[in-house]
Amino acid sequence: MPQRKIRARVALKYCGSCNPFIDPSRLGGHLKEVAAGYGFELVSPDAPHPDILVIISGCNRACVIKPELLELAPKRLIVAGETVNGRPVPEKDLPAALEKELLRLLPAATV
Amino acid sequence: MAMMSGKQYRESLRQVHPLIYFMGKKINSVMDEPAFLPHVNAAALTYDFALNPEFEELVSAKSHLTGEKINRFTHVHQSPEDLVKKVKMLRAIGQQTASCFQRCVGHDGMNACYSITFDIDQKKGTDYHTRFKDFLKMVQGKDLMVTGAMTDVKGDRALTPGQQKDPDLYVHMVDKNEKGIFISGAKAHITGAVNSHGHLVMPTTGLKPEDAAYAVACYVPIDAPGLLHIFGRQTNDDRKAACSLDQGNQEFGIVGGEALVVFDKVFVPWENVFMCGETEFAGELVERFATAHRQNYGGCKAGVSDVLIGATYDIATVQNTISGSHVKEKLVDMVQLAETLYCCSIACSALGTQLPAGNYMADRMLANITKLNVTKNIYEIGRLAHDIAGGLLATLPSEFDIADPKLGPIILKYMKSRADVPATTRIRLLRLIEGMTCGTALAESMHGAGSPQAQRIMIGRQANFERKKALAEKVAKIGTPCPGCSGCQ
């Protein structure tokens, strides 16, 4: 159980999973567990003023990403296939890499 | 209500009371008939996915009529991006069901009727488009599942509708009054017919002025008086009733669940009538519906093929033939065939164009190319699956023998392949491949959205052979003086 509690709103957006190369729901499930552990809010992209937008795209095409989507939050974390914010990560390591990157971004977004 | 969940969809089916027969008996409850449940399950997924964060980007949309969030299966396309999203949605759902989920037919019918009613009004001063928009708002608001009831039984194919000895061989108007019209006839192999909320009836072919009674487009609720559904046989009927393992795809079945829908003087109020006698628009309505529906097949079939390719790869691994170079080559060929279909669907969507009503339709030529490829590629993908899986695909003992205390251990002993994999894994994979490739499913790939000759006709019409001829003559410099020649003879 994490010692640190973080007050923040993290919006989660999936690409739609037409033909995912990875398992998006597994990553989303891990994100839920992380949110529960650190006590931050996991909200839909429609929710107002998220601190961070997490986009989970099933493949590296990341076709869901549009300028208006990126404007939803000041910070973004993008998983696109086997990459996290553009850095290659094998699928088995994606949950840990997602968590690590999110925690790196979160403190500055604490409200 | 905005969007229904799968559970709410199932409950909604209990609120209607359609007249249905199957295998010689009257079916009083769709939800309690084992033969229908796989089709209900597949359709229910189209509801659940619109509410599932992972899939909602594709399976939901914003209504251009109300601004509300709606299920994409009730949406009228507002851009080429919408067309592309439809194809992606179909692949996403196909990967989960490995079978038809039925709801695209009515979706395509609604898109075709939306545009054609606008065109009729422009020329005839009618108010079909306003009626249709009101109908569409109702469908979107209640999140209804609507069939696309286009294909007439057609009788003697050499005769037009009006020339048939029996006029009911094409659905037609038999009477009308100040409240509405009455229609009779029958529509064949209507997908999802028994587990939908109603039927969007459309003419099946281009019509001449003397066939005005056959130029009918309208909406009929599934339990309208005079409406009869006779559910079709499938190659897995008996297995649906009594088996689990032997079904292969127990939850979602092998096809969409088609029925013969018979109209016996069914009354349709004017507000649900969207074409009534305007024969000059019938052919165009058919072509727009066909284009929209043929656009789909590289989406859903690619998704379904993803599962079949996965099963074939898996069975090759279980049977330990996967290291053979010829097996790998065939698996790659299966992928190439499936992705070719997807390429076609994405291409015809990306090149979609706007219609006068404001909505978008896929490129006609490329949509027909998509479907014509499906009539071949899906058979080839199935053939390669058979090749790799082996003959056991067609000769496996039944699950009843596996369940028998004496026979079961013998079967499992002799059906085992790799020592570290249970025999039942092998059997399940083979049953899945069998269900997806050995019966009704293949014929659906051939004739769903129209038989291949229908696609060739539309491709031929748009091929512009004269333009291609001119290109060839220009390159060949036909008509210019040849060296050493004083002129053409």
pLDDT at A1 over 80: no
- The whole-model pTM stands at 0.96
pLDDT (tens digit per residue) in B356-404 = 999 999 999 999 999 999 999 999 999 999 999 999 999 999 999 999 9
* Chain B nearest CA to A2, separation (Å): 26
For the record, the structure tokens of B64 come out as 């251009």
Search chain A and give the residue with CA nearest B69.
Answer: A46
Search chain B and give the residue with CA nearest A44.
Answer: B53
pLDDT (tens digit per residue) in B125-171 = 999 999 999 999 999 999 999 999 999 999 999 999 999 999 999 99
Search chain B and give the residue with CA nearest A28.
Answer: B54
B12-15 — which CB contacts under 8 Å span 24+ positions? B12/B197, B13/B40, B13/B195
* Chain B nearest CA to A64, separation (Å): 8
Q: Which residues on chain B are in Cβ contact (under 8 Å) with A68?
A: none
**Chain B interface includes A3 (CB < 8 A):** no
pLDDT (tens digit per residue) in B8-39 = 999 999 999 999 999 999 999 999 999 999 99
Query: Which of B194, B249, B198 is closest to B220 using CA atoms?
Result: B198
**Chain B interface includes A18 (CB < 8 A):** yes
ipTM of the complex: 0.94
